[in-house]
Amino acid sequence: MSGEAAGAIAYDTVLTQARLADGRHAAIGIREGRIAAIDAALAGGREEIALGGALVLPGLVDAHIHLDKSLVGDAWQPHRPGKSPSFSVMERVAIEAEVLARAAPVAERAAALVEMAVARGTTHMRSHVDIDPVTGLRSLEAVLAVRDRYKDALSIQIVAFPQRGLVSCPGTRELMEDAMRAGVEVVGGLDPAGVDHDVAGQLDVVFGLAERYGARIDIHLHDPGAEGLAELDEIARRTRALGMAGRVNVSHAYALGMVPTADAQRTAEHLATAGVSILTNAPGNHAYPSVRQLRAAGVTVIAGNDNIRDAWWPYGDADMLERAMLIGYGSGFLTDEELAIAFDLATDSAARALGIGDYGVRVGAYADLVVVAARNVAEAVVARPPRSHVFKAGKLVAQAGAFVRR
């Protein structure tokens, strides 16, 4: 029991009839935004919410999303295929510019996507925001405003993303520095070889900015095959040399899924030794890294939705349980233990890679929680039930699958 005096107000909220991931039934006491107690029964809550045996999970973490690109909340836009059958980053960038020129304001679309994500249980996200001479800092300013507006419902970490190139696009380097001064926490990069055609030059700027501002790093890497592996090895080398273990992530890293297993293994070991994490969204039409192989090598693997209903693809509803299911499906995960791995990519591993502290369903952690009608984690991943309740620092921010407006 809680040990509190009978009749005293010990907790702001007590969640009763909760099912924990280990199968236990318990009550969860929340005080000042944190989990203050987990016990068979608790008394003394200012408010009591009965969960009816539903499963309580840690708030979901979307470790890669683009709030400034999504068309959620705007008119439907049919997908425009590129002229080339092969994947071309810069061709899609050009199409995107035409689509977004006719779209609703960034703040309006980003707010709609935030509310969708929160309603589906996301309590933390990392959003990449375009920084380039065409958009300047306008998209960043809009996303910063949205972050502040929704700070009580969702924690948003922002990446300055040089989508048109960093060293090959004049003016971008200076704008990136302005973005860091404006409060951005993460320095982004994009295909040092394929976009900038200057691996050393781009990485010099990315790692230099991160050192100067004490920031994290998150680099989009679509470059294929041996070229992509060489870039991953160089990122690992620089991370090790600068003592940045745990602060550098590479998103997509398609090359790891395109080369012989032995080659991928060597690079995976370099990444693990350096403390570089890898993000995947398990794209359905492209090779991607083996989650099993990377984790076995000691690499932290994390998940994100990436683009949602935008010029890049028309899919997605910001549901990280669905993303975990897609990763599990694409990875051939079948057992409960394997499905728990898919879930981990969107929770504990993602929180660790993003530097989110005091996380999880445990005493002392922030009460960022999502409640689903499932008997265990595996069923939650497979069934993706509606989120009956979502709490951010103990406050109810979504209920019955809908964002709670205040």
Is the pLDDT at 238 greater than 70? The verdict is: yes
Residue 6 lies in a domain: no
Q: Residue 275 is encoded by which pair of tokens?
A: 């403390």
Please, which pLDDT band fits residue 74 given cuts at 50, 70 and 90? confident
> If residue 156 lies in a helix (H) or strand (E), which one and from where to where?
strand 155-161
Please, which pLDDT band fits residue 387 given cuts at 50, 70 and 90? very high
Please, which pLDDT band fits residue 110 given cuts at 50, 70 and 90? very high
If asked whether residues 66 and 54 sit together in one domain, one would say: no
Q: Residue 338 is encoded by which pair of tokens?
A: 């394997």
The pLDDT assigned to 172 comes to: 97
If asked whether residues 270 and 338 sit together in one domain, one would say: yes
> Going by C-beta distance under 8 Å and a sequence separation of 6 or more, which residues neighbour residue 142?
68, 105, 106, 107, 110
The pLDDT assigned to 2 comes to: 43
* Cβ neighbour number for residue 318 with a 10 Å cutoff: 26
If asked whether residues 245 and 136 sit together in one domain, one would say: yes
Is the pLDDT at 376 greater than 90? The verdict is: yes
Is the pLDDT at 123 greater than 90? The verdict is: yes
Query: How many Cα atoms sit within 13 Å of 170 on the Cβ side?
Result: 0
Is the pLDDT at 383 greater than 70? The verdict is: yes
Domain containing residue 222: CATH number: 3.20.20.140
Q: Residue 321 is encoded by which pair of tokens?
A: 């349980």
If asked whether residues 230 and 107 sit together in one domain, one would say: yes
Q: Give me the helix-helix angle, 138-149 and 106-119, nearest 10°.
A: 40
Residue 373 lies in a domain: yes
Residue 235 lies in a domain: yes
Q: Residue 235 is encoded by which pair of tokens?
A: 């990122």
Cα 123 from Cα 155, distance rounded (Å): 6
276 beta partners: 248
The pLDDT assigned to 79 comes to: 84
CB 218 within 8 Å of CB 184: no
The pLDDT assigned to 276 comes to: 98
For 247-278, how does the pLDDT look when each residue is reduced to its tens digit (9 = 90+)?
Answer: 999 999 999 999 999 999 999 999 999 999 99
Is the pLDDT at 83 greater than 80? The verdict is: no
If asked whether residues 207 and 91 sit together in one domain, one would say: yes
Q: What per-residue string of b and e applies to 139-153 under the rule 16 or more CB within 10 Å gives b?
A: bbebbbebbeebeeb
If asked whether residues 372 and 335 sit together in one domain, one would say: no
- pLDDT mean over 176-193: 97
If asked whether residues 99 and 159 sit together in one domain, one would say: yes
If asked whether residues 198 and 261 sit together in one domain, one would say: yes
If asked whether residues 41 and 160 sit together in one domain, one would say: no
Please, which pLDDT band fits residue 87 given cuts at 50, 70 and 90? low
- Domain of residue 41: give its range: 11-58+360-403
CA 19 to chain centroid: 25
Is the pLDDT at 5 greater than 60? The verdict is: no
Residue 4 lies in a domain: no
- pLDDT mean over 82-88: 68
If asked whether residues 85 and 127 sit together in one domain, one would say: yes
Q: What per-residue string of b and e applies to 236-251 under the rule 16 or more CB within 10 Å gives b?
A: bebbbebebeebbbbb
If asked whether residues 167 and 202 sit together in one domain, one would say: yes
* Cβ neighbour number for residue 330 with a 10 Å cutoff: 16
Please, which pLDDT band fits residue 3 given cuts at 50, 70 and 90? very low
- Please report, rounded to a whole number, the percentage of residues in the chain having pLDDT higher than 70: 97
Q: Give me the helix-helix angle, 199-213 and 172-181, nearest 10°.
A: 20
Q: Which of 183, 94, 90 is nearest to 140 (CA)?
A: 183
If asked whether residues 147 and 284 sit together in one domain, one would say: yes
For 292-303, how does the pLDDT look when each residue is reduced to its tens digit (9 = 90+)?
Answer: 999 999 999 999
Q: Amino acid identity, residue 119?
A: A
Token pair 């005493």 is found at 363
Please, which pLDDT band fits residue 1 given cuts at 50, 70 and 90? very low
136 Rama sector, left if φ>0, alpha if ψ -120 to 50, beta otherwise: left
Residue 248 lies in a domain: yes
Residue 5 lies in a domain: no
For 322-346, how does the pLDDT look when each residue is reduced to its tens digit (9 = 90+)?
Answer: 999 999 999 999 999 999 999 999 9
Residue 260 lies in a domain: yes
Query: How many domains are contained in the chain?
Result: 2
Residue 326 lies in a domain: yes
| Residue-averaged pLDDT of the chain | 95
- pLDDT mean over 234-259: 98
